[in-house]
Chains A and B, each alone.
Chain A
Amino acid sequence: MSAQAVIAANRFGLGARPGEIVAIGGDAHGWLRAQLVPERVLPAPFAALPSTGDDLAEFQKWLADLAASGRAPQTAMEAGVSDATPARATGVESEFRRRFAPRYAAALKARFGVAINTTRPFFERLVHFWSNHFVVSGTKPSAVALPPSFERDAIRPHVAGRFVDMLLASSKHPAMLVYLDNVNSVGPASQVGRNPDLRRAFAAQAFIPARGTGLNENLAREILELHTLGVRSGYTQADVTNFARVLTGWTVARPPRVRGAQLAVRRQSAIGLFDFDPDAHEPGAHVVLGRAYAQQNEAQGEAVLRDLVRLPVTAEFIARKLARHFIADDPPREAVARLAQVFLDTDGDLAQVGMALIDLPQAWAHSQRKFKTPEEYLVSSLRALPGLELDGTQLASAVTALGQPPYRAPGPNGWPDVESEWLGPDAVWKRFQWANETARRAAASVPDPEWLALDVLGASLGGETRSAIQRADSAVQGLTLLLASAEFQRR
């Protein structure tokens, strides 16, 4: 069993399944390279999830049901975001949870099912990486059901494609437009902005209830700060504001406005998809990062996005994040420089950047420098124990207990990717509890934990851990020690 196969399976992949390291054999690089191609068929569990339009419609229905029962949808929706736990939840909050919990459980089941069973775990890790870069979080009530279809439709097709396509797909995706408030952003000098009647009509027809209609800079700021250039990379407040003006009109197609005939009724069939609303778009040319953009309609925003991708700071920002994810929390400078160069040279071809990553010697160091995030830890545990099946509700309680519920990142910056954020006393204790609980459930199907340890950790299994597992007083205890061991918590 080669040491490189162990690293390929556990650091680049999602944790070895029994037999996987042997199957990788002597060609770890080749096994990884073969995964850097777009997938031809969407995995069935993802294909079965609802469309974004359906998720949006369900939220609309929720608002309508509230209104029908005599409660102001707006107030109720806002109530849904307080920090109250189910025990103290108001009636509306627990209704909200009950209404959307099945969708969340189904999405979790799909995400974990694919991650646990895939034979392309490097590709799948890249999907998780990028959907933690372009973040839509279901912690915002109006976005509660949207992250899974966003990941499937905007991220997944592009992880072995071009960065610019992912950026465009993300920025135009209804989920992102809702999550970062762009659906309600209106240019002050736009038709809607200048006409109080239109503003009222706009607000009344808004996909997400909003009493106000004006410029909202949230999406513009986060694209610059989190998706492309990175924070403190030279852009100014004026760049943010101007970019926000460029992005006005980027919205989600909705039913036609109830008002006079002066504005055309737009594509009824496209409700729930991206729509450019010229009535809300701030007219004129806008200067972003020193360059004037005079294009019409959404071509203006697309031109800005394309230019952002070509900036060296963007290449550097993406390269550092990738190197941090695959090499170390504080990644070696040469590794970052190399990835940034390939990103620039290939105009953000992510397959080429991935190849360069595989070729970095620093990525193959034997020491396990990355501490798994809770989700990585759960996925790798379940990959090691294929006999164990958890349903969506069990998964939801496990990810919540361990502190990283997928699709519910704390904010638009996503989950942290450094050890100091995850290796705290309480977190380590919760993993121990999870390991023990899982071992109790799985021990029956794992007659010899030592054998499993060798199978999934290979050469990275240390003598101390191996002998502790050997000396365990039960299969449950042995398996608990394996899952809680340092070798299994790191990659």
Chain B
Amino acid sequence: MSSRRSVLGLIAGGAAGMWCGLPGLAFAAVPSERRLVVVLLRGGMDGLSAVPAIGDPDFRSARMGLAPDPASVKPLDGMFALHPRLAALAAMYARGELAVLHAVATPYRDRSHFDGQNLLESGAEAPYVRDSGWLNRALAGLSGAGGRSGGIALNTGMPLILRGSASVTSWSPATLPGPDQDTEQRLAQLYARTDPRLADAFSRAAMANGVAARPGPGGRAFSGLMEAAARFLKQADGPRIAVVESGGWDTHVNQAAEAGPLANNLASLDRGIDALRQDLGVLWDRTVVLAVSEFGRTVAQNGTRGTDHGTGGAMFVAGGAVRGGRVIADWPGLKAGQRHEGRDLMPTTDFRSVALGILREHLGLAEQQFANVFPAARPVRPFEGLVHDRSG
């Protein structure tokens, strides 16, 4: 990591003050009790609304009508605060279980959702050059992941981030009555003889249905999915990695509204992460949740009191395993000249290095796997010191 980085908002709840230059941690064995939940915030979360930089002298003028009432936000330190609807995350921060990263971006620098999400999930440097996801490649590179589903997507379809050669599955709440077992077996045999892809998907679904007999409250609502994720992650032989998706972050219009989509989405994210924490119980101490969006949004508000597609944004790393209670940002500033192309928050931290740091410190991904997980012209270096060194 570059030494010019400054750490803003160090320390709460007794977390260590140093985050960089820590001695290398030992990762002998894959810690099989560790869990990782990746939350994909589709649509481009406005990082400056979720985590306003209230201490930046240019914040109010740059944000105009989008700047929050200073009394309403939840201050983290002199510089940053959390959106009023992120109450549970604020409590996690106070307990040292939440690290906030700001001015983060993938290598993507254009402004298409679909390309941006493709890059966020594929881990490549250009859209549509890889048809597998970085999380699946990481799973494939972890020893002991074979033979069972290492990852699960809480979705009807399989998101790109989890596609690839490693064994994964997907599940979402059922809404139709179930067929009888004999028909199921006959169909499984028929697929085995006629269509390997259908056969594979069908057998994974059958296995997942066995685990998830108890449908969670809330159906497809985000916190319901997080509760379901907790149930899967608690299974002794279940997946260690879950991917949960949340949509509707593309706030072009009226995004500061108190009961608007952004506020609702943030509240829903907050509720969902907290539901996961409660449902995981003691396992929370060995869990990392990484919530990230394909890009941030413009610094200034647009003509319809929203923001347009931008670049740098904010990202949450939560969990009992996280060395939290701090905001990590190499803050670029908000003046027009300090912005990316004059309009977006300048990205100063590479999302991939954060993800790689978590894969390495939390799940024990070996260094020789790095280039496979995030293929890059210049190797991505893992962020250090995000996760507590706890045995097992």
A424 in the interface, Cβ–Cβ < 8 Å?
yes
Q: Does A18 contact B (CB under 8 A)?
A: no
Q: How many A-B residue pairs have CB under 8 A?
A: 208
List B58-80 residues whose CB lies under 8 Å from chain A: 65
**B268, A82: Cβ atoms under 8 Å?**
yes
**B261 to A78, Cβ gap below 8 A?**
yes
Chain B 194-222 near chain A by CB (<8 Å), digits 1 or 0: 11011001101110110000000111111
> Which chain B residue shows the least CB distance to A400?
B175
Residue numbers in A under 8 Å from B131 (CB-CB)? 420
**Residues B109-130 near A (CB distance < 8 A):** 110-115, 127
Q: Does A333 contact B (CB under 8 A)?
A: no
Q: List the one stretch of B95-103, B300-308, B373-381 in contact with chain A.
A: B300-308
Which A residues lie within 8 Å of B170 (CB)? Answer: 424-427
Report the Cα distance A465→B194, complex, angstroms: 8
Are the CB atoms of A468 and B156 closer together than 8 Å?
Answer: no
What residue of chain B has the Cβ atom nearest to residue A82's Cβ? B264
Residues of B within 8 A of A433 (CB): 174, 176-179
The answer to whether A215 and B171 touch across the interface, beta carbons within 8 angstroms, is no
| Closest chain A residue, CB of each to CB of B126 | A232
A75 touches B219 (CB 8 A): no
Q: Establish whether residues B303 and A215, one from each chain, have CB atoms under 8 Å apart when the complex forms.
A: yes
Task: Tell me the residues in window 393-425 of chain A with beta carbons closer than 8 Å to chain B beta carbons.
Answer: 397, 400-401, 403, 410-411, 413, 419-425
Number of B residues, CB within 8 Å of A: 77
| CB atoms of A231 and B112 under 8 A apart | yes
CB of B193 within 8 Å of the partner chain: yes
Is B259 a contact of A75 with CB atoms below 8 Å? Answer: yes
In the assembled complex, the Cα of A122 lies from the Cα of B358 at a distance in Å of 51
Do A464 and B193 touch (CB < 8 A)? yes
**B115 neighbours in A (Cβ, 8 Å):** 231-232
Does B260 interact with chain A (Cβ within 8 Å)? Answer: yes
Q: How far does the alpha carbon of A181 sit from the alpha carbon of B248 in the complex, in Å?
A: 15
Which residue from A74, A214, A400, A410 sits with its C-beta under 8 Å from B254? A74
Q: How far is the CA of A389 from the CA of B127 in the complex (A)?
A: 44
Does B253 have its Cβ within 8 Å of any Cβ on chain A?
A: yes
A216 touches B187 (CB 8 A): no
Q: CA of A434 to CA of B246 in the docked complex: distance in angstroms?
A: 26
Q: Mark B345-370, 1 if CB is under 8 A from A, else 0.
A: 00000000000000000000000000
Task: Say whether A218 faces chain B, with CB atoms less than 8 Å apart.
Answer: yes
A184, B304: Cα distance in complex, Å: 7
Interface hits, B217-266 → A, CB 8 Å: 217-222, 224, 246-248, 250, 252-254, 257-261, 264-265
Pair B201/A424 contact, Cβ less than 8 Å = yes
Asked if B186 is at the interface (CB within 8 A of a chain A CB), the reply is yes
- Is the C-beta of B29 less than 8 angstroms from some C-beta in chain A? no
Distance (Å) between the CB of B266 and the closest chain A CB?
A: 10
How far, in whole Å, are A67 and B264 apart by their CA atoms in the complex? 21
CB atoms of A216 and B304 under 8 A apart: yes
Cβ A216 vs Cβ B179 within 8 A: no
Closest to A86 in B: B219
Q: Which of B112, B197, B252, B303 has the most CB of A within 10 A?
A: B303
Distance in Å: Cβ of B314 to nearest Cβ of chain A: 20
B186 touching A468 by the CB < 8 A rule? yes
Q: What chain B residues lie within 8 Å of A464 (beta carbons)?
A: 190, 193-194
B residues in contact with A54, CB < 8 Å: none
Contacts of A419 in B (CB 8 A): 197
Neighbouring B residues of A78 by C-beta, 8 Å: 254, 257, 259-261, 264
Other-chain contact of B303, A75, A212, A422, A437 (Cβ < 8 Å): A212
Per the bound structure, the CA–CA distance linking A305 and B235 in Å amounts to 56
CB distance from B131 to the nearest CB of A (A): 7
- Given A468-B190, A477-B186 in contact, is the A214-B155 Cβ separation under 8 Å? no
Q: Which chain A residues border B190 with CB–CB below 8 Å?
A: 464-465, 468, 481, 485-486
Q: Is A355 on the interface with B (CB-CB < 8 A)?
A: no
A210 interfacial by beta-carbon distance below 8 Å: yes
User: Which listed residue (A88, A214, A420, A429) contacts B209, Cβ 8 A?
Assistant: A429
Tell me whether B7 is interfacial, beta carbon within 8 Å.
no
Minimum CB–CB distance from A101 to chain B (whole Å) comes to 16
Contact of B305 among A212, A473, A480 (CB under 8 A): A212
User: Which residue from A83, A237, A427, A429 sits with its C-beta under 8 Å from B111?
Assistant: A237
Residues of A within 8 A of B171 (CB): 425-426
What's the minimum C-beta distance from B194 to chain A, rounded to whole angstroms?
Answer: 5
Known: A411-B113, A486-B198. A481 touches B205 (CB 8 A): no
CB contact list, B276-306 vs A, under 8 A: 301-306
Chain A nearest CB: distance from B226 CB in Å?
Answer: 12
**Complex CA–CA separation, A210 to B302 (angstroms):** 12
A81 at interface, CB cutoff 8 A: yes
Decide: B341 and A237 in contact? CB cutoff 8 A. yes
In the bound complex, residues from chain A placing their C-beta under 8 Å from that of B259 are 75-76, 78-79
Contact A232 B110 (CB under 8 A): yes
Q: What's the Cα separation between A257 and B195 when bound, in Å? A: 62
| B169 interface contact, C-beta 8 A | yes
Determine if B2 is an interface residue (Cβ-Cβ < 8 Å): no
Q: Does A213 contact B (CB under 8 A)?
A: yes
Q: Encode A193-219 as 1/0 by CB contact (under 8 A) with B.
A: 000000000000000001111111110
Supply 14 A–B pairs (Cβ within 8 Å), ascending by A: A74-B257, A75-B260, A212-B254, A212-B303, A212-B306, A216-B304, A397-B175, A423-B198, A426-B171, A429-B205, A432-B184, A472-B186, A485-B194, A486-B195
- Which residues of B approach A to under 8 Å, CB–CB? 65, 110-115, 127, 131, 153, 155-158, 160, 163, 169-172, 174-179, 182-184, 186-187, 189-191, 193-195, 197-198, 201-202, 204-206, 208-209, 217-222, 224, 246-248, 250, 252-254, 257-261, 264-265, 268, 301-306, 308-309, 341
17 further contact pairs, Cβ within 8 A, besides A429-B206, A432-B179 = A83-B222, A83-B265, A84-B268, A212-B254, A212-B301, A212-B303, A231-B114, A401-B176, A423-B197, A424-B155, A424-B201, A425-B171, A425-B205, A426-B172, A433-B176, A436-B183, A464-B193
Q: Which are the 10 A-B pairs with shortest beta-carbon distances?
A: A214-B303, A212-B305, A429-B205, A436-B179, A486-B195, A82-B264, A425-B205, A425-B204, A433-B176, A78-B260
